[in-house]
Structure 1
């Protein structure tokens, strides 16, 4: 574990202002480990599957768990830990790493930046969204929350992902370490206990050569998208929801970010 003032400073910089519109994901040191070994994973923030590792800061975290089957094991992390996830003596099966943040604040520097973000994440028409609520186009304020998951195979990796009770989350409907994914990887998007239909999902694929490919997909009527995957690639799946806030609460909009990472052997 690395605990240092530098790590905390780096985390504070990385999670501030301009980086706030970028993805946060869980990056395991290895997606496949032996039974009884330690599962470690960094928290990363960045773009195009390239990001800066984040130190663990307790006041910014709501959940930091490793779930195997029906057992939820809270990670005993301390302030400044990098990697944030470290769980020893893992039992055989599929381990689901779960991270949930508290709220972060963001003020968009320009209207054009906010519009670009809303369009990229397919959240609606920014001008209409502001106008219908009588809001101006100056210094748009946002609160955002992150809900990240990652799938790690311990030994045979047998098991399945499930709904973990996050406000929004992506649930893998197949096990990438044990199932046949020749027809794609099905995932289901949830928000507040209900599936999200006709919603954009962004897929980041990183091959053995380090090249990253980004594609956009949509969920169907029951919130499912079947994503194209290849053996030997690492994947980050991302989806964002937006909801109105009372400006008296400190922001005009609240965004909820779901991410899921896994590897296809």
Structure 2
């Protein structure tokens, strides 16, 4: 989430300024979008970081000041994503491990100030927290000029040559884990578990965006069951973005931005193959 008006000015330590129009960044979802979800061993894995709505958005550049974690996990190996400030795409790494690789990105905490209470109400309701505006008033908080702290946790599942390996918990504060063993089995539902602070997270509002080869996007809403699970239909040759948000109250004295609310964002992207694969 970003302020609606003005410009965001990012000061780089190499003496230049990047100015980004905020209206293009005010939308919500953040995700990792590889150019290809299945690649050959020894070939580069190239991926963009995107922010937008309805599975369409703007590309972000590589900037170490923006993230706490940016890694590729292949089996028991972890490889830090490296680059130079301004690189686009921000991920371009040669892959030398067969099977499933998990791209992981955790942003640094960022702060947003609300000057329009209706925007806060709309956001919290859309993300499955319709009672939060009332709680805000009961806490005696102002209707404008209050701040929110937010952090984004993104994963993407990429296959290198073979359908080997499975998704696993990385230890993010809010995280999806695909519990379906393989994406190579057509007509089998794809199952996910949502974890919050290491525990399965029930009754959570989950948005699923699917994009076909023509670029047509469909949006569905799910609620995790008592064990924090959802399952989605397997649609061949389709890219999916799974997204969930947790919003919680925080003490303004406990954070540098004086925020009274904190939101945590989790996303996972994946692609389902057209045919059975081995």
Instruction: Return the match for 1:13 from 11, 20, 29.
Output: 20
C-alpha distance in 2, partners of 1:190/1:220? 12
Q: Residue 238 in 1 paired to residue 230 in 2?
A: no
- Secondary structure (helix, strand or coil) at the match of 1:131 reads helix
Q: Residue 186 in 1 paired to residue 191 in 2?
A: yes
Instruction: Return the match for 1:63 from 60, 69, 91.
Output: 69
Name the residue aligned to 2:86.
80
Compute the displacement of 1:13 (Å). Answer: 2.6
Compute the displacement of 1:140 (Å). Answer: 3.3
Compute the displacement of 1:84 (Å). Answer: 1.4
Compute the displacement of 1:181 (Å). Answer: 5.1
- Does the Cα contact within 8 Å between 2:186 and 2:236 map onto a contact in 1? no
- Does the Cα contact within 8 Å between 1:176 and 1:262 map onto a contact in 2? no
Query: Is there any run of 5+ residues in structure 2 with no aligned partner, and where?
Result: 1-13, 274-278
Q: Residue 258 in 1 paired to residue 266 in 2?
A: yes
- Does the Cα contact within 8 Å between 2:166 and 2:182 map onto a contact in 1? no
Instruction: Return the match for 2:176 from 163, 167, 170.
Output: 170
- Does the Cα contact within 8 Å between 1:111 and 1:139 map onto a contact in 2? no
C-alpha distance in 1, partners of 2:132/2:24? 19
- Secondary structure (helix, strand or coil) at the match of 2:71 reads strand
What does residue range 63-212 of structure 1 map to in structure 2 within 5 Å? Answer: 63-175=69-181, 177-178=183-184, 180=185, 182-212=187-217
Q: Considering only aligned residues, what root-mean-square deviation do their CA atoms show, in Å?
A: 1.9
Structure 2-normalised TM-score? 0.86
Compute the displacement of 1:123 (Å). Answer: 2.0
- Does the Cα contact within 8 Å between 2:73 and 2:102 map onto a contact in 1? yes
| Bigger helix share | 1
- Does the Cα contact within 8 Å between 1:114 and 1:140 map onto a contact in 2? no
| Deviations 1:31-63, CA, capped at 9 Å, x for gaps | 010112111100000000001000011111111
- Secondary structure (helix, strand or coil) at the match of 1:166 reads coil
C-alpha distance in 2, partners of 1:229/1:133? 44
- Does the Cα contact within 8 Å between 1:36 and 1:92 map onto a contact in 2? no
C-alpha distance in 2, partners of 1:116/1:68? 39
Structure 1-normalised TM-score? 0.90
Query: Is there any run of 5+ residues in structure 1 with no aligned partner, and where?
Result: none
C-alpha distance in 1, partners of 2:23/2:116? 12
Q: Residue 37 in 1 paired to residue 43 in 2?
A: yes
